[in-house]
A and B are shown apart, each in its own frame.
Chain A
Amino acid sequence: MAKTATAPLKYADAPINASMTAEQKIKLYTDICRIRRFEQIALKFYNAGKMGGFLHLYIGQESVAAGCASLMGENDHMITAYRDHGHALAVGMGMNECMAELYGKKTGCSKGKGGSMHYFAPDKNYWGGHGIVGGQTPLGTGLAFGLKYKGLTGCAMAFLGDGAVNQGAFHESLNLAALFELPVIFIIENNGYSMGTSQKRSSAYPSCLAERAVAYDMAWEQFNGEDIYEVRAKVQTAIERAHKQSKPTLLEVATYRYTGHSVADANHKKYRTKEEIERYEKEHDPINIWRGHLVREGVLTEAQAKEIDQAAFKEAEAAADFADSSPYPDPSEIFDDVYWEVDNQTEAGQTGRHFFND
């Protein structure tokens, strides 16, 4: 859960933040507004019956994905779980393709085959979007393995929730990452609840979840995620550790989700109080905090901030129109994207039978 930032200015002075241009800061404000507006519009049309399946919203956590994505260089990669819209937009995926994927349309980022939990953009070093809790952490470890094997200076940021820290695959990933000295950064986005079960009711831990890294002789840190400056300062340290020493880090970022585990989580105001949610929205909202910084610094006026937010809202509405008016995939596409060799019509793809309906 988010704690009150005690010394925000210290993080603004960190070299990675002190060197930011006004444009970069405004870009980040734009990013977090776009993530929130995208999801608010998605929620509106989910409730209107335009989408199937689940919708796990990231609202309240935007500073984490946006802050991390803003640090990514050419060989830095990102992978996350099913609460993946924020990371997708933060790395530069378009609202249209993301919204259309929710609508199950042909124009979706996964051509309607993945849905909300399965966004991917390898061209932007974004590897999903994974549905099974913790299952993406070995993949993130593998991305780091691949970077090291190829001799590239980069890192893989593997995000997970606080509910994923008790999965075996995550612990196996921690061990492999430390053992093989892989440039991976595991980032626990701790929003306090694994679905409806609070951290205290689901995990045994010493001072915090990240301290489990001690058992794997891995560097770790816990920090507050509501302030982008703090996110960037802390994550940059881990990135440098990955780039310069090829060593992993386990980070735990205190954050908060305003909505339920998914939209289908009807109980989310029962396992926590209304007052708790309102307190975060009022005192810890990452968009308000970032805007506050930029206005105080004279980078942005309140009026400009409002314009940016309104533009994000309009962009999200336009994305919904785009998604709504896009065609559904053709049933013939069911057999596409199963086998690389078949899709590419190679000899191997045409030898033997690959599909067995009749």
Chain B
Amino acid sequence: MRRLSYRHALREAFDEELARDPMVVLMGEEVAQYNGAYKVTEGLWAKWGDKRIIDTPISEAGFIGMGVGASMLGIRPVMELMFWSFYTVAWDQIINNAGMVRYMSGGLINCPIVLRGPANGGTNVGATHSHTPENIMASFPGMKCVCPSNAYDAKGLMKAAIRDNDPVMFMESTVLYGQEWEVPENSELPDGELFIPLGVADVKREGTDVSLISHGRAVNTCLEAARILEEEHGISCEVVDLRTIRPLDEETIFESVRKTHRAVCVDENKPFCAVSSQIAASISLHCFDDLDAPVQRIGSLDAPAFYSPPIEKLQLPYPDVVVAKVLGMF
């Protein structure tokens, strides 16, 4: 099967959705003529032109709000935040307007908008550019939040996000953009396209002794930890990739924990009210009698992102940390 980078897979999703629905429009800083700050939208402006691929000024509150307003009229904007970290300057537009206008209007309005961009640490860009706000976005009812861990999921989930009629916060990773995974051609697929519904988790590796529950880049950390644990310690890990934070596929999590009886929730959030906090609480409530050990959590170390490259590396979860945590449970 062909291999595709994460950014290329996203680009294919945009291209296919631009072709499918004339209401789909891509907007953001440098997405058009510059071909994208991270080259995710490369070539799309040349193909689709000024109407469908639009460069915006550096004006997040303004252009995100503009996209929200357009979505109320039935346009389907896919808005790039060059970094998800910039969500703070568009907070009111994202939370109060995209997230709450449906509720406050008693269901008269909906916002079919996608906000997307990289949301990760680990690239030595300092605390302001290293936010992972999936826990924050998912804490607002009305929002949906997606964090793909690989190119295949990124493409399928992006297509679902664009077709969704609610606001979807789509979080990518600059660390993953250049990495490649197997992504089938549409002609190889039974439905003729790659489409992954929101709210469906995926077991990325089957195992019997402990469940590693994760999303986004941390899934890859867990897969590497699982390899080490299997090969060096004979411990069989099941890796559950949440894929979507909200809606959340709790059943797949619970099924896995009921099988392995142990759970470690791994993400790159800061630990206070992280995604892992929510998952740990749900597991404790619904799988209490199945657990042989307390649910463990691993997040990034609880301080703003460190700039210094070797130190930042230690601040985010890495395979050895997961390995050590799992070994401590047996």
Contacts and interface: CB of A to CB of B under 8 A. Distances in A.
Co-complex (A, B): yes
Interface of A: 79, 108-114, 118, 120-122, 127-132, 135, 137-147, 149-150, 156, 168-169, 172-173, 175-176, 179, 336-341, 343-344, 346-348, 351-356, 358
B25 A337 contact: no
8 contacts: A121-B108, A122-B72, A127-B72, A135-B97, A169-B61, A169-B62, A352-B199, A352-B244
Nearest to A344: B165
Contact of B51 (A109, A120, A149): A149
Given A337-B106, A348-B199, A176 B63 contact: yes
A340 B110 contact: yes
Interface string B46-76: 0000010000110101111111111111110
A111 B61 contact: no
Interface string B187-217: 0000000000111100000000000000000
A138 B165 contact: no
Interface of B: 25, 51, 56-57, 59, 61-75, 92-93, 96-97, 101-110, 112, 141-142, 144, 160, 164-166, 197-200, 244, 246-250, 278, 282, 285
Nearest to B249: A352
Contacts of B112: 340
Contacts of A122: 72, 105, 108-109
B69 A140 contact: yes
* Chain B interface main SS type: mixed
Given A114-B105, A120-B109, A135-B92, A142 B67 contact: yes
A131 B96 contact: yes
Contact of A141 (B62, B109, B282): B62
A114 B104 CA distance: 4
A168 B62 CA distance: 8
A142 B166 CA distance: 17
A340 B103 contact: no
Contacts of A336: 107
B286 to A, nearest CB: 9
Nearest to B61: A169
Contact of B65 (A118, A135, A175, A346): A135
A173 B198 contact: no
Contacts of A353: 199, 247-250
B106 A141 contact: no
Contact of A113 (B71, B106, B160, B247): B106
B70 to A, nearest CB: 4
Nearest to A122: B108
B262 to A, nearest CB: 22
Contacts of A351: 197-200, 247, 249
A351 to B, nearest CB: 4
Contacts of A347: 197
A352 B102 contact: no
Contact of A128 (B93, B105, B141, B166): B105
B110 to A, nearest CB: 4
Given A142-B72, A149-B51, A114 B59 contact: no
B97 A173 contact: no
B107 A352 contact: no
B109 to A, nearest CB: 6
A343 B92 CA distance: 25
**Interface hub of B61, B164, B249, B250 (most chain A Cβ within 10 A):** B61
B96 A147 contact: no
Contacts of B92: 132, 135, 169
B245 to A, nearest CB: 10
Contacts of B67: 142
Nearest to A149: B75
Contacts of A120: 101, 104-106, 108-109
Contacts of A111: 106-107
Contacts of A355: 141
Nearest to A351: B199
Contacts of A176: 56-57, 59, 62-63, 66
A94 to B, nearest CB: 14
A349 B107 CA distance: 15
Contacts of B68: 138-139, 142
Contact of A110 (B59, B106, B244): B106
A25 B247 CA distance: 52
Given A139-B72, A352-B246, 18 more contacts: A110-B106, A120-B104, A121-B108, A122-B72, A138-B68, A138-B97, A141-B62, A146-B70, A169-B62, A337-B106, A338-B102, A338-B103, A340-B165, A348-B199, A351-B198, A351-B200, A351-B247, A352-B244
A139 B59 contact: no
Contact of A109 (B101, B106, B160, B199): B106
Contacts of B63: 138, 172, 176
Given A173-B62, A336-B107, A338-B141, A348 B93 contact: no
A127 B248 contact: no
Given A351-B200, A352-B244, A353-B250, A141 B103 contact: no
B105 A143 contact: no
B62 A138 contact: yes
Contacts of B73: 142-143, 146-147, 150
Contacts of A113: 103-106
A340 B200 contact: no
Contacts of B59: 172, 175-176
A141 B68 CA distance: 10
A118 B71 contact: no
Contacts of B141: 338, 354-355
A141 B69 contact: yes
A62 B160 CA distance: 45
